[in-house]
Amino acid sequence: MGDNRKIHKEIPDATYRLIVESVPNGIVMTDSRGEIIFLNSQAEQMFNYKRDELIGKSVEVLMPNAFRKSHIEHRSQYIKDPSTRPMGEGRNLFALRSDGSQFPVEIGLNFMNLDSGPVIISTVIDITERMEAEELLNDREQRLREIMDNTTDAIIVFDKGGIVETINREASLLFCGRDGGKINEIWEIVTPENKQQFTEKLIRVSEGKRVTDYETERVSKDGKRISVSISLVHFNQGNGRFIETIRDIGERIAIRSKIIELEKAQMIGKMAEGFAHHMGTPLASMLLRVQMLKDDIPDVPECEGVDEKLDSIEKQILYGQKVLQRLLKFVGRPGNEKTPENISNLLEESIEMMRPLLKKKGITLATDIADDLIIDADTNLINLVFSDTMMNAVDAMPGGGELTVISNLNKDTQTVNVDIKDTGIGISEDTIPFVFEPFFTTKPAGKGTGLGLSVAKRVVHDHGGDIHIKSKQGRGTVVSISLPIPDKEKTN
């Protein structure tokens, strides 16, 4: 105790004491043996001791029992190699009050040599409030994470530079797959053509405007394009943060497309019914009069040779009636009435109906039609497909040209392939994706309904086949139709 009093006298003069007492943290000074030689009033309040109750006591009295033994060893090592040393960073330290209660602390150590011996100055900070705040913050973050991971929407948080800070489980699954992965920047999942538009959206949101349920596309890490609806929110804290909520709307788009397709089909049906109603009567009247003329012609010597022309007119009227019947049957979507048919017979029937028009338009015909290729077909509907496709080819060659019809067997796909080629004006690259859409036509107003290829596509698909178009503007068009052969007709 005598040495402690000597050190105590040597330590703080009035000015030094005033400085030490003004410090908002607890200060405890110990000698080389770990005995307390001084503490300020902040330390008294912190540990709930009177100063005289601690002077001369081992500093371990301020520590929980579990820490005392190890602290004695640490203290001995520190005396051998003293230095300014921050403590409490990265690990939990606890102190003990006079009533036995514990509280978390951070401690900084400083070493000072006095004439009477070395002195260790411990600066003690009670971090109870900080830890409670951190625990509350961690709890809130955990709850937020649980909410984010249990939502069905993808959520991505990123800064103004696009650096991703947080993504939830759904976002990881949507863009990285089940194998996991990382999104470093939001631009990694924005499609190239949408980057400028997305930048404008971010500027708009940062100015306080709203972006909700904006339909666009995103791209996954493996390059797959995903139809999505996004909403954006901006927070001004710090340098600013964006929260993007992303919903996969692939099913919504598919349903919407189906509804549009059904609406178009209904419209086609109504148009077909109206067309058949208005055209059926004139065609029947024309047919009746042609047949009457055929009956009267033999009695008129001056009309010798007209029979052949009337036969041709009669055949065309009958064909027109047949087309109306096919169209009405198709839009009514009855059950399939497919029978084994030779593809060459179907093509020849369609070609025969086109011959007068080909001659009139100055169009030459070339054919390479394989024999004995059998398909299961609704004859009327497949004939409608071939006739309409050939008619489109004729319309594409107003100044004449060549129509080529080819059929062959593809043993690899077990399909009969039919190519109908023309040397006409062709179709632009931008237009090709739309040619199978109902009501889309490249013909002048009043020259086409835009239904031919749409109907052809539906008929071919109903037969289990496929139809494609290749074309270059000014260099002609090829319509390729593939239809499956029956199982019993399949070849090795």
Q: Express each pLDDT in 99-125 by its tens digit.
A: 999 999 988 888 888 777 888 888 899
**Per-residue pLDDT at 409:** 92
- Residue 265 pLDDT > 90, yes or no? no
Q: In the prediction, which pLDDT does 15 show?
A: 62
pLDDT for res 469:
92
Q: Report the pLDDT value the prediction gives residue 447, as an integer from 0 to 100.
A: 45
CATH fold of the domain at 338-489:
Heat Shock Protein 90 (3.30.565)
pLDDT at 1: 47
**Token pair belonging to 454:** 């749409």
The CATH number fitting domain 143-248, selected from 3.30.450.20, 3.40.50.300, 3.30.2290.10, 3.30.930.10: 3.30.450.20
The predicted-structure confidence for 456-492, as pLDDT tens digits, reads as follows 888 898 889 999 999 988 889 999 999 999 887 666 5
pLDDT in tens, 191-242: 999 899 999 999 998 888 888 888 899 998 888 898 999 899 888 876 788 9
Q: What is the pLDDT of residues 266-319, one digit of tens each?
A: 676 666 666 665 676 677 677 777 777 777 777 777 776 677 778 778 877 877
Averaged pLDDT, 315-329: 72
Question: Are β-strands 36-39 and 26-31 bridged in parallel, bridged antiparallel, or unpaired?
Answer: antiparallel
At residue 450, the pLDDT reads 41
- pLDDT tens sequence across 347-388: 998 888 788 888 888 999 999 999 889 999 888 788 888 988
Q: Does residue 352 contact residue 359 with C-beta atoms inside 8 Å? A: no
The yes-or-no verdict on residue 171 having pLDDT over 70 is yes
pLDDT tens, residue by residue, 63-73: 999 888 888 88
How many Å apart are CA 405 and CA 412, to the nearest integer? 21
The CATH class, in words, for 2-126 is alpha beta
Residue 146 CB: number of other CB atoms within 10 A? Answer: 11
Q: Where do the domains of the chain lie?
A: 2-126, 143-248, 338-489
**Number of neighbouring beta carbons within 10 Å of residue 437:** 15
pTM given for the model: 0.42
* Chain-centroid distance, C-alpha 226: 2
> Which residue do the tokens 């011959």 mark?
355
Give the pLDDT score at 445.
42
Matching fold, domains 2-126 and 143-248:
yes
Q: What is the mean pLDDT of residues 238-248?
A: 85
